[in-house]
A and B are shown apart, each in its own frame.
Chain A
């Protein structure tokens, strides 16, 4: 007889912060207290609040314990489970105030979310197909197999679902094109090559709810007339691969994959293809080449994959999060799907919240939620009392949303209007200490590394732009650099072969648009307003505050600081290499950085 269930978050972040050893301690303590037959421990997928991990939730109370470690984990057993006393030290308390939250519903981070795509993540055991079925899993497949292909596609078109990979193309139309394309065999592909820095939405779904993707791909196979699916997932996601593979074997065992699925006469199976580590393989044509066993480089569109994809055959390709929406649309209908979100972008969007924000992690909100709600209400604001500066979306293909647009509803179309893209959902919060030229340089550096080299504008163009940014950050910028950057950016956008190159200049264009003054300060005044660009900094010692302790002089690797004991020291600017070690060392706040 089970009286309590312990849900232990085994998402990637919690595992990194020690979930496995916490779990071992819990199992041991349960045995020690002779209650291992009464208390069941279940490892789940990501619960979303990644900075609070490892997380343990005790049911039926739903008590939410956070930052559990091997030292305090025994308390959950000896106090809560044996003596019925909550462990107050492990409850979440808000950054300000004394109030403690007992359940996740009392934590603002969770309270404002609408979980559709992530509905099973952190709530079920991802290795249990039974638990997936208990949450209506595979009922959508059963229902879909009794519908006609046209009915399914019409339902998707009516729902208004748009591709969650970033571009927002209507999913129903994509399915329609793949169904109407002439040719056999046809293929279904899932793009799990999530590569944007800071993005981990798709990984969490694959780790936490793998069956939802299997079910949706099977429905897609039926709807377009394909019998074979490929799950393309990046090699850097070993846990996702492991769990998805296990889920595939269970689905085959139960007859949700294979021949004559649910007695319908429809055959379908899925194979995993592991990426080899190139960002460009997230671009659909490059991904298809990679599945074929060729080098992952893009090809010209048209023809689109729907007409000529894998091995030249009609191919439907969707992103993980898009598939994760399908089953619920089949069961609950188009109207239900449209009940949240904005008119042209219905439904929810999962964001990976990261950067200078209090609560980092995975959040799912209705489309049209404002940046203010995301950053300040769910994200809990900026740590350390600093000011919000901007949010970067869309990774290396996107741009920034500035403080002026905090109240703009975020959906596919609104973000495009201000020069960024929704992207797959990475949302990096930047505070006032971020230099926007440096941010643009970071993202461009990423594309320079990841450009496949097939077309010249992307291969050479991004490198030229990067070198210009480097010069600007080094204090060697010249008048006219901004115009040159703009011109080159437009050329790259217009002439690159694939989406990677066409969108690569976006981080630069977007930051020039909103932070031109910062570029000008770097170029004209040789000054970095956020004090980030090393070569533009001047370190100096305030003679009134300096007590002459000599600590900085001893720390300086360039022997650039001179001065006698108990007398004010001086930095020789010609020798200073701007490493900042004097600034870090000084205990009297006598060194300033300008």
Chain B
């Protein structure tokens, strides 16, 4: 360790690893992990979302799990609630759809309309 740049590099790299512990203000993605969800592949969906966010360098959105939302035939279901935007619930979120949600909704700011099963009115 000889320079400030080296120190900064370690900091940035480690911050990514500690990312889960930081406050995430911009929004929250909830993956339903009830028995129905897990059976339909919710775990893969969850991991893909985390992977996609990290690849896209998005660190201000929290990914959490929840129990069954009650829409068992449309599992895996994913709820996206971004700050100051209506809450959107997506159904049939397989791996490919999960990537779409991250790219289009989280990064692009546009709701993926063909996957929506419920949208909060405001």
Interface residues, chain A, CB within 8 Å of chain B? 1-5, 7, 38, 59-61, 80-85, 123-124, 128, 130-131, 133-134, 136, 138-139, 142, 254-256, 262-263
Instruction: Report if B97 contacts A (CB, 8 A).
Output: no
Closest Cβ of chain B to A67, distance in Å, is: 22
A-B contact pairs, 21 of them (CB 8 A): A1-B51, A3-B47, A7-B21, A60-B20, A60-B62, A61-B62, A61-B64, A80-B65, A82-B33, A82-B38, A83-B35, A84-B31, A84-B34, A133-B7, A133-B14, A134-B11, A134-B15, A134-B17, A136-B11, A142-B7, A255-B1
Contacts of B62 in A (CB 8 A): 60-61
Closest Cβ of chain A to B104, distance in Å, is: 21
In the complex, given contacts A1-B47, A1-B50, what are 12 additional A-B residue pairs having Cβ atoms less than 8 angstroms apart?
Answer: A1-B51, A2-B50, A3-B46, A4-B20, A7-B21, A60-B64, A80-B65, A85-B66, A124-B18, A133-B11, A134-B17, A263-B3
Digitize B87-106: 1 where CB-to-A-CB distance is under 8 Å, 0 elsewhere: 00000000000000000000
CB-based nearest B residue for A35: B43
* A130–B1 CB distance below 8 A: no
* B51–A262 CB distance below 8 A: no
State the CA gap A256–B20 with chains docked (Å). Answer: 28
* B3–A130 CB distance below 8 A: no
Name the contact of A83 in the complex, choosing from B4, B14, B65 (C-beta under 8 A): B65
CB-based nearest B residue for A3: B50
Interface size (B, Cβ < 8 Å)?
32
State the CA gap A59–B53 with chains docked (Å). Answer: 16
* A83–B64 CB distance below 8 A: no
Contacts of B51 in A (CB 8 A): 1
State the CA gap A61–B20 with chains docked (Å). Answer: 8
* B20–A5 CB distance below 8 A: yes
Digitize B41-55: 1 where CB-to-A-CB distance is under 8 Å, 0 elsewhere: 000001100110010
Contacts of A255 in B (CB 8 A): 1-2
State the CA gap A255–B18 with chains docked (Å). Answer: 23
* B2–A134 CB distance below 8 A: no
State the CA gap A61–B24 with chains docked (Å). Answer: 10
Given contacts A1-B47, A131-B18, A256-B1, whether A84 and B67 have CB atoms under 8 Å apart is yes
* B63–A60 CB distance below 8 A: yes
Instruction: Report if B32 contacts A (CB, 8 A).
Output: yes
* A85–B67 CB distance below 8 A: yes
CB-based nearest A residue for B2: A263
Given contacts A5-B21, A134-B15, whether A83 and B34 have CB atoms under 8 Å apart is yes
A2, A84, A123, A138: most-surrounded residue (chain B CB, <10 A): A84
**Beta-carbon contacts under 8 Å, B4-32 to A:** 4, 7, 10-11, 13-15, 17-18, 20-21, 24, 31-32
Name the contact of A254 in the complex, choosing from B1, B31, B50 (C-beta under 8 A): B1
Contacts of B7 in A (CB 8 A): 133, 138-139, 142
* B63–A134 CB distance below 8 A: no
* A84–B11 CB distance below 8 A: no
* B20–A133 CB distance below 8 A: no
Closest Cβ of chain A to B35, distance in Å, is: 8
State the CA gap A128–B21 with chains docked (Å). Answer: 15
* A262–B50 CB distance below 8 A: no
State the CA gap A1–B17 with chains docked (Å). Answer: 10
* B10–A83 CB distance below 8 A: no
Closest Cβ of chain B to A510, distance in Å, is: 44
Contacts of A2 in B (CB 8 A): 17, 20, 50
Return the 10 tightest CB-CB contacts between A and B, nearest first.
A84-B65, A84-B33, A134-B14, A255-B1, A130-B14, A59-B20, A85-B67, A254-B1, A5-B20, A84-B66
State the CA gap A82–B50 with chains docked (Å). Answer: 16
Contacts of A134 in B (CB 8 A): 10-11, 14-15, 17-18
Closest Cβ of chain B to A63, distance in Å, is: 9
CB-based nearest A residue for B49: A3
State the CA gap A138–B66 with chains docked (Å). Answer: 39
* A262–B14 CB distance below 8 A: no
Contacts of A60 in B (CB 8 A): 20-21, 24, 62-64
Closest Cβ of chain A to B63, distance in Å, is: 7
Contacts of B32 in A (CB 8 A): 84
Contacts of A61 in B (CB 8 A): 62, 64
Given contacts A123-B21, A130-B14, A133-B10, whether A3 and B66 have CB atoms under 8 Å apart is no
CB-based nearest A residue for B33: A84
State the CA gap A136–B11 with chains docked (Å). Answer: 7
Given contacts A5-B20, A139-B7, whether A83 and B2 have CB atoms under 8 Å apart is no
CB-based nearest A residue for B66: A84
* B1–A131 CB distance below 8 A: no
Contacts of B38 in A (CB 8 A): 82-83
State the CA gap A384–B4 with chains docked (Å). Answer: 55
Name the contact of A3 in the complex, choosing from B3, B35, B63 (C-beta under 8 A): B63
State the CA gap A473–B93 with chains docked (Å). Answer: 75
* A142–B11 CB distance below 8 A: no
State the CA gap A7–B21 with chains docked (Å). Answer: 9
Closest Cβ of chain A to B103, distance in Å, is: 18
State the CA gap A130–B46 with chains docked (Å). Answer: 27
CB-based nearest A residue for B61: A60
Closest Cβ of chain B to A34, distance in Å, is: 10
Contacts of B46 in A (CB 8 A): 3
State the CA gap A576–B66 with chains docked (Å). Answer: 64
